[in-house]
Homo-oligomer: A and B are copies of this chain.
Amino acid sequence: MHAEVISVGTEILLGQITDTNSTFISQRLAELGIDVYFKTVVGDNEKRLLQALEIASGRSDMVILSGGLGPTKDDLTKQTVAKFLNCGLLTDKDALESIEEYYRQNNRKMTDNNLLQAKYLEGSVSLPNESGMAVGSYYQNQNGPDFILLPGPPSEMRPMFDKQVMHRLKENYAREHLLFSRVLRFYGIGESQLVTELDDLINGQTNPTIAPYAKVGEVTLRLTAQADSKESAKEILDETEQVISKRVGQYLYGYGDDNSLPEVVVEKLKQKGLTVSASESLTGGSFQKAVTDIAGSSQVFPGGFVTYSASAKENLLDIPKEIIIENGVVSEATAKWMAERTRIKMDTDFGVSFTGVAGPDTLEGNPAGTVWIGISQRDRQTAAFEYHFYGDRDAVRIRSVLAGFGLINNEL
């Protein structure tokens, strides 16, 4: 079973956007043990898309296309694949209704192009789009490769793939010797140190393979085992995880691709029935945004403050002026006062505070990257910790937010 991924869009050929859809699709196919031998990018051009379809059909058993399902004249993937397969287009009534409903509600004029978004390949299954308007198509073919058509925007493509495509591929094609992955998530250790500690494992063993991946402030290890059942894969993975844990277990905080430190912390708070609030200076709301990115976080988070200016710290949190004047905004004292006042005012179990220098400019003589994070708990001494983060403004803010979650995680 060889799949080929075709990304359609002139903006990719012009370098205006990077094709991340094919990365995502490749990851999912790798999980299923479906090989990808080629990827192609082609513009919104009928002739050249037909060429690409011809080549792909000659060398692959499955062709997955993303992009070109939208309402503009540029978007011609669906029509072109239909022409290539010599089939018609049918209308998905549910999709059509929800498109019409959207235009009614927003008092906007619907154009003929919008109707096209509700169409799918004749002979295929229409794939509903929960984050957008254009439906996809899952076309199984007796006499040639299967075709799967997906929308271009990643926010639409990803959920459609996970909810509509994955289970169909699993049923139809997942191979006997499957690949099973486990992602270990680390916080507080850099990628190079992690790789050094595990050098012999990463380079010396093939089942499971161990692939490190670094994002700002976090490192993950993806262990991938080949096995003929879930159970034997679990054994293989457990064994390697144990060896890893012995060496760097103190930095391991969680599992899974999407299970970030904020999610782990919010989940733990939920389970323990605890609540958190925050006051943010340099992070400007990023911590609270990260909490509320998670559906259901209202259970653990009532709200908090963005105290960007010094006077906001005084007025919103009733911190005495002298504290800030004597110690400075970027100080242990200010961080502690902020955390404690926030916890008391919001009546939560935890209060977290962020004050520091995101950059690019210095503040009170402190270089960019200097950050104090305070943490206050009921019946515990309020504490604050100093950090010196590297990286640009964005990186410093992201690292600060993660460090805040790290401090709470340590207490849970």
Contact = CB atoms under 8 A, between A and B. Distances in A.
Contact of A295 (B74, B293, B360): B360
B113 A388 contact: no
A362 to B, nearest CB: 12
A55 to B, nearest CB: 6
Interface stretch (A140-148, A243-251, A263-271, A296-304): A296-304
A301 B280 CA distance: 13
Contacts of A337: none
A128 to B, nearest CB: 13
B303 A306 contact: yes
Interface in A2-42: 10-20, 22-30, 35-42
A305 B311 CA distance: 14
B289 A303 contact: no
Interface string A153-168: 1010001000000000
Contacts of A11: 211, 213
Interface stretch (A83-91, A192-200, A372-380): A192-200
Nearest to A156: B391
Interface stretch (A118-126, A227-235, A319-327, A392-400): A392-400
Contacts of A388: 102, 105-106
Interface in A21-73: 22-30, 35-43, 45, 48, 51-52, 55, 59, 70-73
A390 B102 contact: yes
Contacts of A216: 153, 155
Interface in A83-120: 102, 105-106, 108-109, 111, 113-114
Given A39-B40, A284-B292, 5 more contacts: A12-B26, A15-B22, A38-B48, A131-B390, A302-B311
25 contacts: A13-B36, A14-B30, A15-B24, A15-B28, A18-B23, A19-B19, A22-B41, A37-B43, A37-B48, A38-B52, A71-B192, A111-B192, A131-B390, A131-B391, A155-B391, A159-B392, A278-B306, A284-B288, A284-B292, A284-B297, A285-B289, A289-B289, A292-B308, A297-B308, A298-B308
